[in-house]
Amino acid sequence: MAERKETDLTSKLLGNNVWIYLGVILIFAALSFFFGNKYVGLAEIFVFVGLLVFDVIRNAKKRKQIIEYMQNLTYHADTAAKDSLLHFPMPITILRIDGAITWYNKSFRELFAKNEHLFETHIQDLVADINWFELIKQTEGISEDITLGDRKYQMLGNVVKTQKKGENDSYLVLLYWIDKTELYQLKDKVQNEQTDVAVIMVDNYDELAANMDDMARAQVLSQIDQSLKNWLDGVGGILKKLDRDRYIYIFANKYIKQFEENKFSILEEVRNISTSFEMKAPFTMSIGIGIGGTSLEENETFAKKSLDMAMGRGGDQAVIKNGDNFKYFGGKFNEYEKNTRVKTKMIAQALRELIRSSDQVFIMGHSGPDMDAFGACIGIYRACANLNKAAFILCDPSNNKEVRSSMENFRKNNAYSGIFISEEQALEILDAKTLLVVVDVHRPSLTQSPKVLSRAKSVVVIDHHRRGEEFIEKVALLYHEPYASSACEMVAELLQYIGGNVKLTKAEAEALYAGIVVDTKNFNFKTGVRTFEAASFLKKYGVDTLAVKRLFRTNLEEYLQKMKIVGAAEVVFGNMAVSACNLDGFPRNERSVVVAQAADELLDIDGISASFVLCYAEETVIISARSLDEINVQLIMEKLGGGGHRMVAGCQMKGVSLAEAKDRLTDALEEYVKDSKQ
């Protein structure tokens, strides 16, 4: 109560303005002298002086009282603050800008050294996994998660600028440590107890079981069931068989690390089951796993998408989808050709109906089209023409002389007048009843026209490349077969079942045949029975193999550049050839073809199992990769943002020099070799 009265009194004293009253008295004194009443004026002057002296004395006294009061208050506040910091239950420390400790409280000392002094000790000597000088550069306050023994802390703080009288400006760093061990433990517990979903499927059961008797099929299925149970022994969860070749498995998230560590060994176990049976190809298994979803239903959706990804990459692998991220395991063996054409017939019938129900059809491949993309476009055009449907092809052949030559031959023929259109023309006539057929590519960013793709209401995708994370969504029809040699092979098969009495011209058949030749490297790579059957079908329409061979002939300059690349190659990791060349003076828009041909040439060298050729072209470093089956170049190229097939792949790297691209490739090769040895 006394403090409150004193505060009120202080407020009143500070609030009074005695100078107003003194001014009034002084005015009255002046008036008294003016009117001749000097005695009254002298009295008023006396009162004025007395009040003035009284006010000065009173103010000096009160100022002294206020100063004493504030000093006493500050002393008590400083004492309380210092005592609070010293005994604060949270570790606190003050450091110089160089990281040396200048002050700490009791909690901080107990955190590191109960019986030792920590003054002048550098913080990095206590916490080795922090970069002090990077830490203090944080503009919005210091925040860092650290681990001390079995405890986890969040280190918070800020840099404070101080200035002492007579000294230069200096800085101090205040840090306080929040123990979040229990929070992390609770988080780990919740995460470990989340329910994940796996969808498991035997890739080629129907293909292989068709040639087995009932007894052998039963034995194989029994062995697969037992292998799965053995693999999951001790893990827990629920394994349910949905069909003879399909399973669903529900398990706790804490076991996902165990699966990753053993690299999904079940994949190899299932392959080994086939060794006791006389089979042309082994059984393989694909696993799609969904984790990190907000519900069990979302994890199931993730699992199905993961399985689609695994199948689209050729099967015999496990794929984990966590949100938008994918992780891949296995997939190091060749996909096996399917002998049945049931799916091809169904796709052909569905494509026929989509073409008939559309007003017009747009056809396009990937940017920088090769003969496989161009030939497939020509094949789909023929299907549309035989169904009496207007069709147009979007194709920019500026980077491929074979496509330019073939396209020019078609333009000279009046029968194909107006079928080749630009992106601008396509956007003008595109409507809701337009069907877009995309061939030889499934990544939206790599299509000939992403704008046309984004605006098309109905899309068909026909592709043979192993699936990547980027994929054209919401398609009306998807025909994706990674076992196929080429898009032209797939289109040639569709033409046999699409109806409409399809008859190819000689030029159309040669374009399709040339596409197969390109992607199989003249029937040497990824060639199966169906590849030769497709070639035989095209041959019936008068394909001149010598004319196709002449189409791919190179001039002397191209040959010399190719030999330059081969001569610059170096062998790494024992059996891989890497060559990086600038190809100065050679047209940039034609370098990609020479690079691919040089990569093929390097495989002819004894002891080389894979080749990688890098070249700077069109403000981009392109890499062409080839393999003789032992090495999966697709997995290597995916590490660099590219993709392709197991034996034929590539990528493009923007914003890097040729030397930087080579260093990244070397790192990817080293990582691949390391993973292969595990």
Copy the structure tokens of residue 59.
């103010």
Buried b (16+ CB within 10 A) or exposed e, 190-213: eeeebbbbbbbbbbbbebbbeeee
Averaged pLDDT score across all residues of the chain: 82
> Tokens 């959706």 sit at which residue?
301
Copy the structure tokens of residue 63.
């100022």
- 617 and 528 both lie in a single domain: no
pLDDT (tens digit per residue) in 328-379: 888 766 555 666 677 888 889 999 999 999 999 999 999 889 999 999 999 9
- 153 and 264 both lie in a single domain: no
Note whether residue 529 is domain-resident: yes
C-beta separation of 614 from 579 below 8 A? yes
This prediction has a pTM of 0.66
- 447 and 510 both lie in a single domain: yes
pLDDT at 39 over 90: no
pLDDT (tens digit per residue) in 119-153: 778 887 888 777 787 777 776 778 888 888 788 88
- 317 and 262 both lie in a single domain: yes
- 205 and 227 both lie in a single domain: yes
Looking at 27, 59, 86, which one is the last position of a domain? 86
Note whether residue 504 is domain-resident: yes
Looking at 86, 120, 142, which one is the last position of a domain? 86
Strands 142-148 and 238-243: unpaired
E strands, 69-140, where? Answer: 92-96, 101-104
- 348 and 296 both lie in a single domain: no
Band of pLDDT at residue 85, cut at 50, 70 and 90: low
Per-residue CA distances from 345 to 102, 312, 350, 498, 569 (Å):
80, 19, 9, 8, 46
pLDDT at 170 over 90: no
Say which CATH number the domain at 101 has. 3.30.450.20
pLDDT at 79 over 60: no
Question: How far is 122 from 118, CA to CA, in rounded Å?
Answer: 9
Q: How many domains are there within the chain?
A: 5
pLDDT at 80: 52
Looking at 60, 86, 112, which one is the last position of a domain? 86
Copy the structure tokens of residue 469.
């994370």
Select from 519, 493, 492, 520 the least CA-distant residue to 508.
492
Note whether residue 207 is domain-resident: yes
Note whether residue 337 is domain-resident: no
E strands, 505-645, where? Answer: 570-572, 576-581, 610-617, 620-627, 643-644
Select from 645, 544, 650 the least CA-distant residue to 593.
650
SS3 252: strand
| Helix or strand (DSSP H, E) at 161 | strand 151-162
- 567 and 596 both lie in a single domain: yes
Buried b (16+ CB within 10 A) or exposed e, 101-137: beebbebbbebbeeeeebeebebeebbeebebeebbe
Range of 623's domain?
556-677
pLDDT at 393 over 90: yes
Q: How far is CA 615 from the centre of its chain?
A: 25
- 544 and 671 both lie in a single domain: no
* Sheet (strand 434-439) strand order: 420-421, 391-394, 360-364, 434-439, 458-463, 477-480
pLDDT (tens digit per residue) in 510-544: 999 999 998 888 888 878 888 999 999 999 999 99
pLDDT (tens digit per residue) in 206-250: 777 777 777 877 888 888 888 899 888 888 888 999 888 899 999
C-beta separation of 323 from 292 below 8 A? yes
Question: How far is 616 from 606, CA to CA, in rounded Å?
Answer: 27
Note whether residue 501 is domain-resident: yes
Q: Is 613 exposed, middle or buried (0-12, 13-18, 19+ CB in 10 A)?
A: buried
- 215 and 116 both lie in a single domain: no
- 130 and 77 both lie in a single domain: no
Measured torsion, CA atoms of residues 486, 488, 491, 493, in degrees rounded to the nearest 10: -80
Strands 246-252 and 325-330: unpaired
SS3 654: strand
Band of pLDDT at residue 550, cut at 50, 70 and 90: confident
- 135 and 170 both lie in a single domain: yes
Read off φ and ψ for residue 68, nearest 5 degrees: -60, -40
Question: How far is 198 from 306, CA to CA, in rounded Å?
Answer: 9
Higher pLDDT, 469 or 612: 612
Measured torsion, CA atoms of residues 523, 366, 342, 199, in degrees rounded to the nearest 10: 110
Q: How far is CA 361 from the centre of its chain?
A: 33
Say which CATH number the domain at 630 has. 3.10.310.30
- 564 and 633 both lie in a single domain: yes
Note whether residue 605 is domain-resident: yes
Note whether residue 54 is domain-resident: yes
Note whether residue 336 is domain-resident: no
pLDDT (tens digit per residue) in 411-445: 999 999 899 999 999 999 999 999 999 999 999 98
pLDDT (tens digit per residue) in 314-327: 788 899 998 888 88
pLDDT at 23: 72
For the beta carbon of residue 231, count every other beta carbon within 10 angstroms.
18
